[in-house]
Structure 1
Amino acid sequence: MRWRVLGPVEVTVDGRVLPISRPQQRAVLALLLLNAGRVVSAGHLAEALWGDDPPSSARTQVQVCVSQIRSALRPAGLAEVLASTGGGYRLAVADDDLDLARFTHAASRARAAVRAGDPETAARELTTGLALWRGPALTGAAGAFVRAAADSLDEQRLTGYEQLASVELTLGRYDNVLRTLQPLVAAHPLREALVARCLLALAGTGQQAAALRLYADTRDRLVEELGVEPAAELTEAHLRILRQEVTPAAVVPEPGPGPATAPAQLPADLAGFTGRAAALRELDRLLPETGTTPGADTRRAVVVSAIGGTAGVGKTTLAVHWAHRVAHRFPDGQLYVNLRGFDLDGRAVAPDEALRGFLAALHVPPQRIPNDLDQQAALYRTLLADRRMLIVLDNARDCDQVRPLLPGAGGCLVVVTSRDRLTGLVVTEGAHPVTLDLLSPTESRELLGRRLGRDRAAAEPLAVDEIVHRCARLPLALAIVAARAAANRAFPLDALAAELAELAETAGPLDALDAGDPSTDVRAVFSWSYRMLDAGSARLFRLLGLHPGPDVAVPAVASLTGLPPARVRPLLATLTRAHLLVEPVPGRYALHDLLRAYAAELCRTDDSDAEREAARHRLFDHYLHTTHAADDLLDPYRLAQPVDLEPARPGVTVDARTDHAWATRWFGTEHQVLLGTVAQAAATGFDGHAWRLAAALTTYLDRRGHWPELAAVQHTALLAAQRQNDPAGQARAHRGLAICCTWLGRYDEAHRHYRRDLELYRDLGDDTGQAHTHLGISWVLAREGRRRDAVTHADRALALYRTSGYRVGQAKALNNLAFFHARLGDHRLALACCRQALALHEENGDRHGVALAWDNLGYVRHQLGQHQRALACYRRALLLHRELGDRYDEAEVLENMGDTHQAAGDRGAARHAWRDALAIFDDLDHPDTDRLRAKLAGPATYQPHAPAHGVALLAASGAGDPS
C-alpha cells in the first residue's frame, strides 16, 4: 500500500491505483495526507479548498468528497483508516506507506550522515528519497491551498537536490552532479544555490570556460530581472574557479580498440527542453540493461528507434536532447547526419555521401574509403562491430536512405527521425517506432514559460493560453512566437496574442507564424512534406482543409473526394505515413489546426470554386443523410414529422446500419464533427443542410443532456431557416430552442419559442405539429408548478392526436397526463393513464416510450405507498434507459428509486442509488446535483423530491417533444 503526494495524488494497493480521480477528491485526500495522523476539521478543509469565499454547500461537498474517498478505499479494506472524529477527519497512515514521510526521513538521515562525515551514506539516502518524486507535487488536486502547498513541497525537493550535489561534489562525482543539475538549472536559472554547484561540477569536469559563461549569464539575468548582484554562495563558487581551486577528476580511458578521439557529432542540445516525458521513457527502454555481473557482456544487438511525427512537432529536438542525455552510455562516441529527406531544395543526402562522412569521423583516410556503396557499408559495419556508439540519422526520407547506415551487430544504438512512418524498418529491421504528437496544453505553457521567463508567463496566463491555442500546440509555432516575444520584451503578451488572433482572422494563421526564415517558417516546413505526395494524395490533403474537424472517418473522406472508400484508404495511408494525418483510433483521421489551415490555403489556390463547392455539397450530404438514418434508429417513434431530404449527390457514401447500438455509437463518435458541420454549412450558404442537420441532432443531444450545445445548433438552424424563408424549418428550430430553455430553467423564453412555434404550425395548417407544441407547453407549465394548466394543454394535444389517429402522440400525451394527475393527487386517474400509455407504447414498439411509462408508473405506485411495486417498475425503466443510452433519464430513474428506498426505510440502498445518479448528473454538469448532494448529506427522514421526470424525461423523445 502506498499513499502518494510527491507527484499525482493517489493511493495504490499492490500496484493498482484506487479510483480517487476527481480534482476536489484529490485535494481533500492531499490535505489529509499532509496532516496524516492529525484531526483536520471540516471548517479547515472548506477553507483550504475555497479560501475566503466558500460556497454555501461547502460542508456538504467536503462530506461528499470524504464519502467518495472512503468508497474508493473500502474494496481494499482501507475505509477504517479515514475516521470521523471531533468534528473533523483523521487519516491514519504509517510513515513507511507515505512517500512524503519516507522522503523527509531520508533527508534527515542524510543530514545526520553528513554531520558524521559519511558522504557515501548521505548520497545514498538522498538518492533514495529523491527517487520517490514522480513529478510536480500534488498533481491532479484542485483547491485554494494546492498551489502554496505544492510550491512548499517542490522547494523541499530542490533543497534535496542541492544537498545531494554538495555531497557528490565532496566525493568528486562531477559527472553525476552535472547530469542531475543541468536540467534543474535550466528550469530554475535564478536559483543561485543550484547554479553555484553546477559551476563547480563544470570546473570539476574540466569545463572552466563553460562554468565562467554560466556564471556570467546568471549574473546578467539576476541584474536584469531582479536588480540584484549574485549572493555570497554563487560569488564564492566563481572565485574558486578563477583561483583554479577546483581540479578536474582524473579520466581513466576504457581499454579496447577505437580512434584516439571519439567522434562527438551531436548538434547542441536545446536549452530549456520541455515535456515529452512519455517519449523519453520509451527511448530510455531501448538502452542496454545495467546492473549485470562484472565481466558480463552488456552489449546487445543494434536497436533502431524510428521517431516519426508531423512537420514542426520537434522530432529532431527530442532525438538530439535524448542523445545528449544518454551519450555517456556510449563511450566510443556519437555520429550524427542530417539526411535532408524533406529539405527545401529537394536534395536529400545520398547514403554514400553520409557514409563517407561517418567513415571520415571514424578516422578512415580518404584514400581508403571505397567508391562502391556496398563496400562503404561493409567497412562501416566492420568498424562498428566491437564498439558502443550512438548514431542519430535525422530527417530521413525513406527506408532505402537509412538501411546502408545501420550497423550490423554489437552495442550500437541508432535513432532515426522522419516525417514518414518508415514501416519497412519496423518490419524488416525490428525498429521501435516512437510517434510524436502535439504538445499537451501543460507542456505548451511550460515551453513558453521557459522561453519567455516564468514570471512573465505567469503574469499573463490568459494570453499564454491564447498563444498556445493559436499555435495549435505545435512546438515550431510556439518557438517562433516565443522568439518574437523574447526579442520584444516590452511587448505585453496579451498584445502579442491579440495580434496572432487578428492575423489569423484576416491574413490566415500561417501568416502570423512567418519567421522570415524558410527553415523555420511553418508554411514552408509543411510544404516540404506536401511536395512529396502523389497527385491523388495531394488532392485529398487539400480537400481535408474543407472539413470542420476535429477528426474524420473514411466514409466522410470518401464523400469529400467523391471516391469509393476502397480507393480512399490507400490515399489516407500515404498521408498518414507522411505524418500529414494521424490515425488516433482505427478508421478515424485528424490533422491539427495549422495543418488544416495549410490544406485550406492550398485548396483555395489549387482547386476551382466549382470543385470546392461540389466537395462541400457531398460532405454535407454525407452527414445529413447518415445523421437522419441514425436518428431514425435512435428514436423511430419521435413526435417530429420526417424531414424531406433531397437524394444524396453521386459520389456520396452514406453509413446505413439497422440497430440502435450503432446509432448511439455513431452519434457519440461524430458529436463534435456534427456540431462543426452545422456551423460550417450555415456559414457557406448551405442553409437547408444546416437546419435539417440540426433537427436530426436534437434527439441525441437532448437525451445526453448537451443542452447548451443543442441551443447553439438550434439558434444556427433558426437563422438558416429564416434566410431560406422556410416555416417548417423555423418551427423545428423554435421547438428545439424551447426544449433547451426549459431544461436550463429559462421558462419565459421557452414560452416565447413555443408561441411562435404554434403560430407557424397554424399558418401551415398542421394539426399534428400544433399537438406537439401543446405537449411541449404542458411540460414547461409543469416545471413552473402550474399543473392544472399543464393538464389543459396535454388534453388539447391528446384530442388532436386522436382526431388524426396518431397513436404515438396519444401514448406520449397519456404519459404526461398520468404524471400531472399523480402530482395533483388523483392517483387512480394517473394509474389509468399510465396503463393506457404503456399499452400504446408497447403496441407501437416504442421502447423509449415504454421506459418512460414504466418510470411514470413507478412514481404513481410510490405515491400510493406501494414501494416494492414501484421499485419493480423503476428497474424495468432503468434497464431500458441503459440499453438506449438515455443518461439523463437513467439518472432520474435512479434518483426516484433512491426516494422509494428511502420511503421504504432502506437508507443504504437509497444512498447507493442517489450516488449513482449524482455521478451521471456531475458528468452532465446538471443543476440537479445540488439537490442530490443535499439528499446524501440530509437526515434519515428526507422527503422525496417532486421529480420532473414524468414530464421532463418525456420531453427527451425524438426531437425533444414531451412524450
Structure 2
Amino acid sequence: MGVLVVAEFRVLGAVETHVDGHPVDLGSPRQRGVLAVLLLHANHPVPVDQFLDHVWGEHLPQRGRNALYSYVSRLRAILAPIRDVSLQRRSSGYRLTVDEAAVDVHRFRQLTAEARASAEDVDALTLFDRALGLWRGPALAGLDSPWIASVRTTLEAERWAAELDRTDAALRCGRHAELLADLITHATQQPLDERLAAQAMLALYRSGRQADALQHYDHMRKELAEQLGVDPNPALQQLHQRILAADVALAARVVTPRATPRQLPPAPAGFTGRVTELDALTSSLDSTDGDTVLISTLTGPGGIGKTWLALTWAHRNMDRFPDGQLSVDLHGFSPDVPKHPADVLADFLAALGVDRDHQPTNLDARIALYRTRTTDKRMLILLDNAATTDQIEPLLPGGTTCSVLVTSRHRLPALTARHGARPVRLDVLAGAEARTLLVAALGDAHDHGDTERAVIELIGLCKGFPLALGLVAARIRDDPDLLDDLVADLRELGLEALDSEDAAASLPTVLSWSLRNLTDHQRTVFGLLGIAPGPDTTLPAVVSLSGLSQAAARRTLSALEDASLLERRPGGRYAMHDLVRDYSATTADTFLPADVRDTALTRVMDFYLHTAHTAERLLDPHRTPLRPGRPAAGVHPLSLSDAAAAMDWLEDEHATLLAAQRAGVALGRHDLVWHLAWDLEIFHLRRGHRHDALAAWRAALHAAAHLPDPVTRLRAHRLLGSACSRLGLHDEAVEHLAAALELATHHQDLTEQAHAHWVLASTWERQEDDRRALEHARHALNLYRLLDRPVWEADALNAVGWYGARLGEFDTARDHCHAALTLYRHHPYPTGEAATLDSLAFIAHQTGDHQQALDLYDQALTLYRSLGDTVRVADTLGRLGWPHVALGQHDRARAVWREAIELHGQQGRDTDAARVHRQLDALDQHPASR
C-alpha cells in the first residue's frame, strides 16, 4: 500500500478517521474509545493506568491490560500507512504523534483562540464559524465511560462558550436581525443565563422592540429571584437601565465590551524539551475537580528555565482561558524591589476594567474587588518570580474557574499546604534536549565543519543548565564562527565565561539573587558546601563542616533547599546542581576568610576519615588496627552499629571518600590520604572497585614518602601491588610486592613479610603459576605460625589447601582446609570461613562428590552474601555451575552462571565474564560434557 498523505481525525461527533477523503474502519466502539483518548492527548504520553481508567472506568475487565494492548496493536496497524502519524509505547505510556491541525478538537480550540485574539470582529466571526462548523453532533458520540462523559461535558461547554463569543462578535457587526430568532429560542431554553439574556435584550432593542427587551429583563429578574434568590448582575442591570432610558448611543452604535486582558509576554523563542513538565501542568488542568482554584508552582534554582516553561505552556494553552490572562513579574529574585500585592492588584483591576481613580485604596478591599471580578471567569493568572507565599496569596482569584501558575526559586510549601498547590520541580535539561537547543542555534552552521564535537563539549560544560545553554545558544546565533572560542572560554573560565554586563543574561548574577533572603550563617554554609569534597552531602557531614549543632544545621539545609540552592534526595542526601556548586565555591573563595575555609575543610575531612576508620574495624576486626590521629575539635564521626551498617555507609559515601582523598592530596594531608586508602581496602575488595583501589594506593604510596613511619611505605607497596595484580598489571604488581618484601625484611617485620608472601601467592595464581603460588603461601603459613596469629594462620592454611587442590594434591589440600575451617570457627571470621568452604567445595567436586560440593558452595555463598562481598559471590557462582553440570542439572548451572556473568559485568571484570560466557556456551553446545 502506498503512503497516504491526507488524514483527518474527528471526535466532535462520532469518532472517525478519513484518509484521502475516505472513511477508515476503526473497529469496535471500545477501539474507537482508545483512539479517542490518544487523539485528545495528542503528542502527549498517556500512562497505562490512566488509559484503562479513561476507556473503562470502574468496569475494567479482568484482562483489561491485555485488551488495551490488543486495541493499541490494531490501531497501530491501521495508522501505520499514514505519513507523520505514529503510535508508540514509551516508559511514560502510549503516545500518538500527529499534526494537531488534523484533529478536529485541537483545530476547534486553535480557531476559537485565534478568533478571540482577533482585532477585527469580521475576522473573528469567520474564525468562529469555521470552528463551530467542525461539530457534527454530540462529542464522542457512541462512547461511554465516566471520563468520556466528563470530556464530553467539557467540550460542550467550550462549544457553548464559542457560540456566545460568536454572538457577541456578530452583534458588534450589526447582525442582530439574523440572530434574533435563535437568541429568543436559546434564552427561553436557558432562562438563568445572564449573558444570553443580555444578547437577546440587545438584539430586541436594536430590532425596534424596546418593550419586548424590557419584558425579557423582567422575566429574567423574576426567575433569578425565585430560583436563586439573587438579582441580575450589574452589567445586565446597567443594560436594562440604558434600554429603559432609550439610550441613543446604545441603539445608534455598536457597543464595545470591556477588552479581554491579554498580558502574557511573548513565548520564548527556541524553547525545547520539558515534555514531562508540560504534560504535568496540562494533566493538572485536565484533572481539576472545579471545587477550587487550580494553582501550579514551577520551582527550581535561578536560571533553570521556570519562566520559559511557564510562558511556553501558557501560550500553548491560551484557548483554555477565554476570559484572558493576567501576568506579572513579582521581582522576588532580581535587583529590583519585590512588588507589593497592592500595586499588582491595582494593575490587575485596571486590566479588568476598573478605572484606577475608582479603585479602593485599602488592600483588603482591593482583594475583594479583584476576586469579585475574577469569579466565574476562565482566566490564567501568571505570577512569575515570586518570593514568598505572602506575596502570592492576595493575588489568588475568586471563584473556582481560574488557574494560577506561579514560578519561584522557593518551594513554597505553605502554598501547597493551605491552597493545595500542585508543585512541579525543574531540573537540568537532558542531553538530547540540550543538543536540540544548541543545534537549532547553529542552524546551517551545524552542517559545516567539526561542530558536533564542540556541541557535545558545550553540553558537558553547561551541565544541562537551561540559562547557561540559552546564553551559549544566543552567542552562537550572533556569530557561529566563534563556536570553538566559546568552548575554550567555558573550558578555561567556567562560570566566569557566562558572566555579562546585562544582569539578566549573567548566570553568576542571576544565581546571586538567590542569596538576598539568606542569613549570614546560611550564606556561609552555602559557600562551604561548594568547597566540601564529594558530589553530595548529609546532615552529619554538614554538622562537622559548619560547626553548627545538628538542629541548626538541619534548619540551614532546609533554608537552602527552600531557596532552590540545594536539593534533598532520597536517603537524607543533599546535592547542588553543578553550576550552582561552582557559584557556591566562587562565593566561598570571594567572601569567606581563608581560615574559615581551612578549618571547615579540616573538620569535614576528619569526619569522613574517622567514620571510615570505624567502618573498616567493623568489616574486618582481625586486621591490624591502624588508628588515625585525633579528629579536629567540633568533629562528630558516626558510630556505626555493625558490619552491615558499615557497608551501607561506605557504599553511600564512596564517591565522597575518594574525593576527600583527592582533596587531601591537594592540601598536603598525607596522613589522611594514606589512612583513607587503608580504610577503603576491604570495601574495595568486596565490591570489586579495582580501579578505585589502584588510584587510592598510588596516592597513598606518594603520601607515605612524607610520613615518618616507614611501615606506611611498605604497606602501601604491598597493597598497591595487590591492586595492580587484580587488574592484571602483573609486572608492576611483582615490582611493588618485591619492594614491600625487601622493606619488611630490612625492618625485620615478620608480619609484613608474611602478608607480602600471601599477596604474592594470589598474584602468581592469576598468572596460572600455581606451583609458585603454593610456595609463597607456605612461606606465609610458616611466618604466621611464628607470629601466633590464628586467623592469619587460617588464611595461609586455606591458601595452601587451595593451591594444592589446583595442583591435584587433594588429600593434602583437604587436610589444610579443614584445619583452616577449625581455626576460623574457633576465632569467628566469616570471610575466611566462606573462602575455606569454597575451597572444600572445589575439592569435593574435583574428587567426584558433586552433591557435597553443592552443599559447601551454598554455605559459602550464604556467608559471602551476608557480608556484601559481591566479588567473591561472583567467583563462587562461576565454580558452582560445574557440580550442577556433573549432576545433569543444566538449568541450574545456566542460572548461576548467568548471575555470575551479570555480577562480573557490574564489577568491570570483562575477562572473568567472558570465561563464564564460554562455559555457558559450551554447555549449550555440548550439554553432556563438562
Please classify the TM superposition score into its range, dividing by the shorter chain length.
Answer: 0.7 to 0.9
Instruction: Go from structure 1 to structure 2 and tell me whether the alpha carbon gap of 1:366 and 1:96 turns closer, same or farther (over 3 Å shift).
Output: closer
The alpha-carbon deviation at position 288 of structure 1 amounts to 4.1
Contact 2:260 2:323 in 1 (8 A): yes
Instruction: Go from structure 1 to structure 2 and tell me whether the alpha carbon gap of 1:445 and 1:643 turns closer, same or farther (over 3 Å shift).
Output: farther
- Give 2:780's aligned residue: 797
Residue of structure 2 aligned with 1:263, choices 258, 261, 264: 261
- Give 2:173's aligned residue: none
Contact 1:564 1:651 in 2 (8 A): no
Instruction: Go from structure 1 to structure 2 and tell me whether the alpha carbon gap of 1:867 and 1:570 turns closer, same or farther (over 3 Å shift).
Output: same
Instruction: Go from structure 1 to structure 2 and tell me whether the alpha carbon gap of 1:94 and 1:614 turns closer, same or farther (over 3 Å shift).
Output: closer
Unaligned runs of 5+ in 2: 1-30, 53-62, 115-122, 129-161, 169-194, 197-232, 236-256
Contact 1:280 1:322 in 2 (8 A): yes
The alpha-carbon deviation at position 520 of structure 1 amounts to 1.8
Is residue 359 of structure 2 the alignment partner of residue 369 of structure 1? Answer: yes
Is residue 396 of structure 2 the alignment partner of residue 482 of structure 1? Answer: no
The alpha-carbon deviation at position 468 of structure 1 amounts to 1.9
Q: Secondary structure at the match of 2:381?
A: strand
- Give 1:428's aligned residue: 418
Residue of structure 2 aligned with 1:102, choices 75, 78, 89: 75
Instruction: Go from structure 1 to structure 2 and tell me whether the alpha carbon gap of 1:15 and 1:744 turns closer, same or farther (over 3 Å shift).
Output: farther
Measure, in 2, the Cα distance between the counterparts of 1:625 and 1:457. 55
Measure, in 1, the Cα distance between the counterparts of 2:479 and 2:689. 44
Q: Secondary structure at the match of 2:503?
A: coil
Measure, in 2, the Cα distance between the counterparts of 1:756 and 1:936. 41
Measure, in 1, the Cα distance between the counterparts of 2:348 and 2:68. 55
Is residue 887 of structure 2 the alignment partner of residue 897 of structure 1? Answer: no
Is residue 437 of structure 2 the alignment partner of residue 439 of structure 1? Answer: no
% same residue: 38
Measure, in 1, the Cα distance between the counterparts of 2:109 and 2:465. 34
Residue of structure 1 aligned with 2:620, choices 635, 641, 645: 635
- Give 1:320's aligned residue: 311
Q: Secondary structure at the match of 1:287?
A: helix
Is residue 524 of structure 2 the alignment partner of residue 610 of structure 1? Answer: no
- Give 1:933's aligned residue: 917
- The letter of the residue matching 1:937 is D
Contact 1:269 1:320 in 2 (8 A): yes
Measure, in 1, the Cα distance between the counterparts of 2:847 and 2:369. 93
Instruction: Go from structure 1 to structure 2 and tell me whether the alpha carbon gap of 1:944 and 1:805 turns closer, same or farther (over 3 Å shift).
Output: farther
Contact 2:628 2:671 in 1 (8 A): no
Is residue 462 of structure 2 the alignment partner of residue 471 of structure 1? Answer: yes
Measure, in 2, the Cα distance between the counterparts of 1:202 and 1:782. 86
Is residue 848 of structure 2 the alignment partner of residue 875 of structure 1? Answer: no
Q: Secondary structure at the match of 1:391?
A: strand
- Give 1:224's aligned residue: none
Measure, in 1, the Cα distance between the counterparts of 2:127 and 2:462. 40
**Correspondence list, 1:207-222, <5 A:** none
Deviation string, structure 1 residues 907-938 (Cα, Å, up to 9, x no partner): 11111111111121122221211122222222
Measure, in 1, the Cα distance between the counterparts of 2:806 and 2:667. 49
Aligned residues: 753
Measure, in 2, the Cα distance between the counterparts of 1:807 and 1:480. 66
Contact 1:168 1:177 in 2 (8 A): no
Deviation string, structure 1 residues 675-716 (Cα, Å, up to 9, x no partner): 111111111221211121121111112211111122122222
**Correspondence list, 1:189-204, <5 A:** none
Q: Secondary structure at the match of 1:533?
A: coil
Q: Which has the higher contact order (CA 8 A, sep 6+)?
A: 1
The alpha-carbon deviation at position 542 of structure 1 amounts to 1.2
Instruction: Go from structure 1 to structure 2 and tell me whether the alpha carbon gap of 1:202 and 1:469 turns closer, same or farther (over 3 Å shift).
Output: farther
Residue of structure 1 aligned with 2:579, choices 582, 586, 594: 594
Is residue 696 of structure 2 the alignment partner of residue 713 of structure 1? Answer: yes
- Give 1:850's aligned residue: 833
The alpha-carbon deviation at position 96 of structure 1 amounts to 7.3
Is residue 568 of structure 2 the alignment partner of residue 570 of structure 1? Answer: no
- The letter of the residue matching 2:797 is L
Measure, in 1, the Cα distance between the counterparts of 2:648 and 2:392. 43
Contact 2:340 2:391 in 1 (8 A): yes
- The letter of the residue matching 1:272 is G
Measure, in 1, the Cα distance between the counterparts of 2:902 and 2:602. 41
- Give 1:144's aligned residue: none
- The letter of the residue matching 2:734 is H
The alpha-carbon deviation at position 720 of structure 1 amounts to 2.2
Instruction: Go from structure 1 to structure 2 and tell me whether the alpha carbon gap of 1:904 and 1:131 turns closer, same or farther (over 3 Å shift).
Output: closer
- The letter of the residue matching 1:252 is R
Deviation string, structure 1 residues 187-211 (Cα, Å, up to 9, x no partner): xxxxxxxxxxxxxx999969xxxxx
Q: Secondary structure at the match of 2:824?
A: helix
Measure, in 2, the Cα distance between the counterparts of 1:917 and 1:8. 41
- Give 1:219's aligned residue: none
TM-score (norm 1): 0.73
- Give 1:960's aligned residue: none
Measure, in 1, the Cα distance between the counterparts of 2:456 and 2:589. 30
Contact 2:294 2:421 in 1 (8 A): yes
Unaligned runs of 5+ in 1: 17-75, 79-92, 112-125, 140-153, 181-200, 207-247, 291-297, 504-508, 946-963
- The letter of the residue matching 2:590 is T
| Structure number, greater radius of gyration | 2
- Give 1:917's aligned residue: 900
What RMSD over aligned residues (CA atoms) do the two structures have, in Å?
3.6
Instruction: Go from structure 1 to structure 2 and tell me whether the alpha carbon gap of 1:568 and 1:12 turns closer, same or farther (over 3 Å shift).
Output: closer
The alpha-carbon deviation at position 15 of structure 1 amounts to 9.5
Contact 1:385 1:410 in 2 (8 A): yes
Contact 1:8 1:135 in 2 (8 A): no
Deviation string, structure 1 residues 878-912 (Cα, Å, up to 9, x no partner): 11111111111111111211111012221111111
Is residue 541 of structure 2 the alignment partner of residue 541 of structure 1? Answer: no
Q: Secondary structure at the match of 1:490?
A: helix
The alpha-carbon deviation at position 178 of structure 1 amounts to 11
Q: Secondary structure at the match of 1:260?
A: coil
Of 900-909 and 931-940, more deviation after overlay is shown by 931-940
Residue of structure 1 aligned with 2:769, choices 776, 779, 786: 786
Measure, in 1, the Cα distance between the counterparts of 2:844 and 2:89. 57
- Give 1:701's aligned residue: 684
Measure, in 2, the Cα distance between the counterparts of 1:476 and 1:443. 13
**Correspondence list, 1:580-591, <5 A:** 580-591=565-576
Q: Secondary structure at the match of 1:304?
A: strand
Is residue 631 of structure 2 the alignment partner of residue 648 of structure 1? Answer: yes
The alpha-carbon deviation at position 566 of structure 1 amounts to 2.2
Is residue 726 of structure 2 the alignment partner of residue 775 of structure 1? Answer: no
Instruction: Go from structure 1 to structure 2 and tell me whether the alpha carbon gap of 1:716 and 1:520 turns closer, same or farther (over 3 Å shift).
Output: same
Contact 1:678 1:689 in 2 (8 A): yes
Deviation string, structure 1 residues 219-263 (Cα, Å, up to 9, x no partner): xxxxxxxxxxxxxxxxxxxxxxxxxxxxx9997268578963211
The alpha-carbon deviation at position 369 of structure 1 amounts to 0.9
- The letter of the residue matching 2:905 is D
Residue of structure 2 aligned with 1:512, choices 484, 487, 497: 497
- Give 2:274's aligned residue: 276
The alpha-carbon deviation at position 280 of structure 1 amounts to 1.7
- Give 1:860's aligned residue: 843
Instruction: Go from structure 1 to structure 2 and tell me whether the alpha carbon gap of 1:944 and 1:276 turns closer, same or farther (over 3 Å shift).
Output: farther
- The letter of the residue matching 1:679 is R
The alpha-carbon deviation at position 663 of structure 1 amounts to 0.9
Q: Secondary structure at the match of 1:890?
A: helix
The alpha-carbon deviation at position 462 of structure 1 amounts to 3.4
Contact 1:768 1:804 in 2 (8 A): yes
Measure, in 2, the Cα distance between the counterparts of 1:794 and 1:172. 78
Deviation string, structure 1 residues 335-373 (Cα, Å, up to 9, x no partner): 10000011114x000000111111011011112211011
Instruction: Go from structure 1 to structure 2 and tell me whether the alpha carbon gap of 1:250 and 1:426 turns closer, same or farther (over 3 Å shift).
Output: closer
Q: Secondary structure at the match of 2:480?
A: coil
- The letter of the residue matching 1:432 is R
Measure, in 1, the Cα distance between the counterparts of 2:799 and 2:165. 88
Contact 2:297 2:421 in 1 (8 A): yes
Q: Secondary structure at the match of 2:284?
A: coil
Contact 1:529 1:580 in 2 (8 A): yes
- Give 1:335's aligned residue: 326
Q: Secondary structure at the match of 1:417?
A: strand
TM-score (norm 2): 0.75
Measure, in 1, the Cα distance between the counterparts of 2:404 and 2:426. 17
Measure, in 2, the Cα distance between the counterparts of 1:765 and 1:271. 75
